[in-house]
């Protein structure tokens, strides 16, 4: 054989220059869509120039001297919104967990997984406001309508989180339960649930946080709560009361987010410590 040192060097292949035509076409399409979107909005550019001064004007009307005389009613309506969000979260998380676990790969058969995932995708495509409008024909303008809309609307997203969490759970314990002769329910209960439950509980609290913000939006269609009260005073252009209501919404929402976030961190930190104990 010829020594390596005496071998003739191979001709170096120059890499072909990447074709950028497709990239440029994609950017061209994105640019056309962007311009077309503005064109379809029928914007009045003169009013856009006046927007900053209008915002400052109305912020002054709302927050220079808020009317706190309506605070007791605002707190009561806020409590209704939070109750709506909590009931919707409880119902939605319970249904999402029951439906999401069979939709996980390795748990339910494919003829169950695919229809369930298709159902979740359809629900995610429908906003909670549209669901509430559909429910109005049956349940009427009540806070329970808002709670049902939040529960149904939350299934699409939370069930997806559920089966993704189950699929990310280590399968060793579940396989051990199967090897010991356990059925599907026993495998889920003793093999998957102990590892997945902290993440699922954290996601359930996060669902409640989302529902608190969404419940204010649902109030705009008349199902009750702080959103309903806010709509009424905006229509009457009572800006001092509107400013007070916005302050209440911001304070309550931020407080709930902070408390819920702290609880979620404690849950996840506890789950991490349990995992470390198992490893050690």
Tens digit of pLDDT for each residue in 34-82?
A: 877 777 666 666 677 777 787 888 888 888 888 898 899 999 998 988 9
pLDDT at 63: 85
pLDDT at 95: 92
Mean pLDDT value across the chain:
81
Q: pLDDT confidence of 268, banded at 50, 70, 90?
A: confident
Residue 212's nearest CA partner among 74, 128, 89 is: 89
Tens digit of pLDDT for each residue in 227-262?
A: 888 888 888 888 888 889 999 989 988 998 888 888
Q: Is pLDDT larger for residue 115 or for residue 138?
A: 115
- DSSP-H helix ranges across the chain: 21-40, 45-63, 71-100, 110-124, 128-139, 143-168, 172-179, 184-186, 193-218, 226-235, 239-279
Of 89-93, 150-154, 198-202, give the lowest mean pLDDT range: 198-202
What is the C-alpha separation between 156 and 117, in angstroms, rounded? 9
CB of 177 within 8 A of CB of 194? no
Residue 134 maps to a domain = yes
Tens digit of pLDDT for each residue in 129-175?
A: 888 888 888 887 788 888 999 999 999 899 999 989 888 877 666 66
Residue 250 maps to a domain = yes
Handedness of CA 82, 87, 90, 92 (dihedral sign): negative
Residues 6+ positions from 212 with CB-CB distance below 8 Å: 81, 82, 85, 252, 253, 256, 257
pLDDT at 117: 93
What is the C-alpha separation between 172 and 176, in angstroms, rounded? 6
41 backbone dihedrals φ, ψ, rounded to 5°: -75, -15
Position 119 pLDDT exceeds 90: yes
Average pLDDT of 197-203?
A: 85
Of 17-31, 86-100, 104-118, 264-278, give the lowest mean pLDDT range: 264-278
Handedness of CA 262, 265, 267, 270 (dihedral sign): negative
Residue 262 tokens, joined = 């702290």
Residue 236 maps to a domain = yes
Average pLDDT of 258-278?
A: 70
pLDDT at 203: 87
Residue 199 maps to a domain = yes
Residue 158 maps to a domain = yes
Degrees to nearest 5, angle at CA 166 with 160 and 167: 90
Number of domains in the chain: 1
pLDDT at 213: 86
pLDDT at 184: 67
Position 113 pLDDT exceeds 80: yes
Residue 51 maps to a domain = no
Containing domain of residue 268, as a range? 69-279
pLDDT at 16: 65
pLDDT at 6: 54
The model's pTM is 0.75
Residue 100 maps to a domain = yes
What CATH number does the domain containing 200 carry?
Answer: 1.10.3720.10
What is the C-alpha separation between 84 and 225, in angstroms, rounded? 8
CB of 237 within 8 A of CB of 243? no
What is the C-alpha separation between 166 and 276, in angstroms, rounded? 20
Q: Is pLDDT larger for residue 32 or for residue 16?
A: 32
């Amino acid at each position: 054989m010829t020594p390596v040192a005496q071998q003739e060097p191979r001709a170096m292949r120059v890499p072909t220059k990447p074709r950028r035509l497709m990239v440029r076409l994609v950017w061209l399409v994105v640019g056309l869509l962007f311009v077309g979107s503005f064109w379809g909005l029928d914007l009045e550019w003169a009013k856009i120039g006046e927007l900053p001064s209008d915002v400052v004007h109305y912020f002054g009307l709302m927050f220079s001297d808020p009317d706190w005389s309506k605070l007791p009613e605002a707190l009561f309506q806020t409590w209704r919104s939070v109750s709506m969000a909590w009931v919707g979260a409880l119902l939605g998380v319970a249904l999402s967990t029951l439906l999401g676990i069979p939709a996980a790969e390795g748990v339910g058969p494919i003829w169950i997984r695919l229809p369930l995932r298709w159902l979740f995708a359809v629900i995610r495509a429908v906003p909670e406001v549209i669901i509430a409008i559909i429910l109005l024909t049956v349940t009427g303008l009540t806070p329970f309508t808002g709670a049902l809309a939040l529960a149904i609307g939350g299934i699409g997203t939370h069930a997806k989180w559920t089966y993704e969490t189950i699929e990310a759970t280590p399968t060793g314990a579940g396989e051990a339960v199967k090897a010991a002769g356990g059925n599907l329910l026993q495998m889920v209960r003793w093999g998957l649930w102990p590892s997945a439950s902290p993440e699922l509980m954290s996601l359930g609290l996060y669902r409640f946080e989302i529902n608190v913000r969404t419940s204010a939006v649902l109030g705009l269609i008349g199902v009750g709560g702080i959103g309903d009260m806010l709509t009424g005073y905006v229509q009457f252009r009572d800006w001092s009361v509107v400013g007070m209501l916005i302050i209440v919404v911001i304070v309550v929402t931020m407080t709930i987010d902070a408390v819920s976030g702290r609880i979620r961190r404690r849950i996840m930190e506890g789950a991490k410590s349990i995992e470390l104990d198992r490893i050690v």
